[in-house]
Amino acid sequence: MRHVYGWLLLLPGFTLIVAFTHYPTVTTFINSFFSNQTVIRPKKFVGLSNYEYMLNDPVFLQTFKNTIYFALTTVPLSIAFALVMAVFVQEKIKGRSVVRLAYFTPTILPMVAVANIWLFFYAPEIGLINQIFQYFNLPQQNFLGDTNMVLEATIVMTVWKEAGFFMIFYLAALQSIPKELNEAAKIEGASAWTSFWKITFPLLMPTTFFVMVNALINSFKMIDHLFILTKGGPDNASNLLLYYIYDVAFSFFDYAYAATLTIVLLALLIVISLIQFGLVERKIHYK
């Protein structure tokens, strides 16, 4: 009977996982091998045609490149700024609570609100940044209209929002490190940098791994800002893979091709997860 009770307790969660995770994944994988179904044309099995079309799709290649660049840039920058901010606000400085609040405030704002704030910053001529440029007689910039700047502009905005959230985890981890370790290193003549690099940072590795996993997930699922800022433009310079999937499915109603793109995104996330938990986690020592 205990086994029955155990399975009954697992049943609600198991049902939700199957209904909203496993079943949609399997269905999406199957649909990627069929043509798009319309009112007058039923879907038919096309094999790998959707994947062949994808490999020759310049928009997909551009969005895939943008997504990888976006992830490889936002993740380390968010982690680095979060760590620096946590170390700074841990020290006994005047107005420490206010500084902590200022760092954390962007994280509680919805991404749509953040995008609107930065839309005001980036707007040509009337934007805050361009107003500052004008004051110092610097040339005006169209941050969201220049293909060479737009992706970097969205990266800056993303790091601004994400770093404060990750700072909280680092701050909690720093406060849990015994002060005696750094004091002993200081007595032995170690500099502040040596103490941090040889003692503090290794003890923060479990937190760093946790933050890295969350930052990577956020970098692949964050598309809210594109609806407000760029719609993936100009010329797909800021388009990301998840936004492209949304566009294909709900703007062009090509659900078969959207399923194909979704499978590629899932495969990419699986590969990244295997690297993280297979290689990176082995370097983490919790004790």
Is 155 a residue whose pLDDT tops 80? yes
Is 61 a residue whose pLDDT tops 60? yes
Model pLDDT for residues 93-129, shown as the tens digit of each residue = 777 788 888 888 888 888 888 888 998 899 888 888 9
Q: Is residue 152 included in any domain, yes or no?
A: yes
CATH code for the domain of 120: 1.10.3720.10
The predicted model gives 145-160 an average pLDDT of 92
Q: Are 76 and 211 in contact (CB under 8 A)?
A: no
Q: Is residue 187 included in any domain, yes or no?
A: yes
pLDDT at residue 285, rounded to an integer:
54
pLDDT at residue 274, rounded to an integer:
83
Q: Is residue 70 included in any domain, yes or no?
A: yes
The predicted model gives 158-165 an average pLDDT of 91
Range of the domain at 78: 58-283
The predicted model gives 236-263 an average pLDDT of 92
Q: Is residue 23 included in any domain, yes or no?
A: no
Mapping DSSP to helix (H, G, I), strand (E, B) and coil, where does residue 110 land? coil
Model pLDDT for residues 223-241, shown as the tens digit of each residue = 888 888 888 888 999 999 9
As for how many domains the chain has, the answer is 1
Q: Is residue 197 included in any domain, yes or no?
A: yes
Strand partners, 41: none
The predicted model gives 190-198 an average pLDDT of 81
The predicted model gives 184-213 an average pLDDT of 83
pLDDT at residue 170, rounded to an integer:
92
Q: Is residue 15 included in any domain, yes or no?
A: no
Q: Is residue 156 included in any domain, yes or no?
A: yes
Percent with pLDDT over 90 in the chain: 35
Q: Is residue 259 included in any domain, yes or no?
A: yes
